[in-house]
Amino acid sequence: MSETLIEVRDIGKRYGNVIALSGVTTSVHAGEVTCVLGDNGAGKSTFIKILAGAHPHSDGELVVDGEPRHFTSPRDAQALGIATVYQDLAVVPLMPVWRNFFLGQEPTKGWGPLRRLDRETMKRTTSTELAAMGIDLRDVDQPIGTLSGGERQCVAIARAVYFGARVLILDEPTAALGVKQSGVVLKYIARARERGLGVVFITHNPHHAYPVGDRFMLLRRGRSMGDFPKSDLTLDELTAMMAGGAELEALSHELTAELGQDSEVAQTMSQDVKVLDT
Ligand SMILES: Nc1ncnc2c1ncn2[C@@H]1O[C@H](COP(=O)(O)OP(=O)(O)O)[C@@H](O)[C@H]1O
Ligand SMILES: [Mg+2]
């Protein structure tokens, strides 16, 4: 068994009267990928905001390194080595790759009035770190805006690894990417895992999750549909759980609109959706 970094027990989040998340249980282990799957509005971002310290949880328990925690700011999570790569990536497009790599954490040299940015160290380190992750960039001097979406995700992953992340949270890193670039990002997720990080990979695509995932937690409308180790779940089962819920729900709405709430077919269908929910 590998080291348990994070345990989430029956966690929940309320925004006033809105229950955005409830009853979520899963875990993150060193050298493993925990996938969080769910459709739009399922609660995936809410879940990672809890892990990242952006929104404190209102129910349940968050245990990091064996100790119960209640994060009140992203700094609390960062101090424990939990790094989050958000989908919008917060980069400065016109700045070179190496500036973005060190953004907000620039090393300096010299003292007093002679103190200045250590550009050489930043460039060299960026090159070395990207190479160590197997990312082949011709020139770290090019503006990060010239990189593809996939490459930018990879730079963000390498950056988190360099600054000492033990847990890497990725919010839908492949959502906006084509097949080939998604493949590249999946490769770096696998590489981060090989380097011993615990990775939390958020996606709505079972075909992206299954090849790299060790554990799968499925969300639907703010509730957990279960937490499965890979040995308990085939790709077909995972796909069926994802598609089953979404399709049935869409169909149920369609039928209700078409035939009216009281029709027998619509009622049976919405009953089935409820069964899937429990
Ligand atoms: N700040 C907030 N205030 C109120 N409701 C919110 C807030 N953030 C998210 N929600 C609600 O929580 C639910 C889950 O949203 P979210 O976590 O963004 O889903 P996902 O990332 O899976 O698409 C949605 O119904 C959303 O309306
Ligand atoms: Mg989201």
Cα–ligand 1 centroid distance for 4 (angstroms): 28
Give yes or no for residue 46 CB within 6 A of ligand 1.
Answer: yes
Give yes or no for residue 50 CB within 6 A of ligand 1.
Answer: no
Q: What pLDDT is recorded for position 273?
A: 61
Give yes or no for residue 107 CB within 6 A of ligand 1.
Answer: no
Q: What is the dihedral of CA 132, 169, 42, 2, to 10 degrees?
A: 90
Q: What pLDDT is recorded for position 12?
A: 96
Please give the Cα distance from 93 to 151 (Å, whole number).
Answer: 13
Give yes or no for residue 44 CB within 6 A of ligand 1.
Answer: yes
> Is 82 buried (19+), middle (13-18) or exposed (0-12) by CB count in 10 A?
buried
Q: What pLDDT is recorded for position 90?
A: 65
Q: What pLDDT is recorded for position 275?
A: 56
Q: What pLDDT is recorded for position 86?
A: 80
Q: What pLDDT is recorded for position 231?
A: 93
- Using DSSP's 3-state secondary structure scheme, residue 99 falls into helix
> Is 68 buried (19+), middle (13-18) or exposed (0-12) by CB count in 10 A?
exposed
> Is 121 buried (19+), middle (13-18) or exposed (0-12) by CB count in 10 A?
middle
Give yes or no for residue 14 CB within 6 A of ligand 1.
Answer: no
- Which residue lies with its CA nearest to atom 25 of ligand 1? 41
Ligand 1 atom closest to 16 (CA): 4
Tokens 């049935």 correspond to: 248
Per-residue pLDDT of the chain (278 residues; tens, 9 = 90+): 589 999 999 999 999 999 999 999 999 999 999 999 998 889 999 999 999 999 999 999 999 999 999 999 999 999 999 998 887 666 677 888 888 888 877 888 888 888 888 888 889 999 888 887 777 777 888 888 888 777 888 888 888 888 889 999 999 888 877 887 788 889 889 988 998 999 999 999 999 999 999 999 999 989 999 999 999 999 988 988 887 666 666 666 677 777 776 777 667 666 666 655 54
Confidence (pTM): 0.82
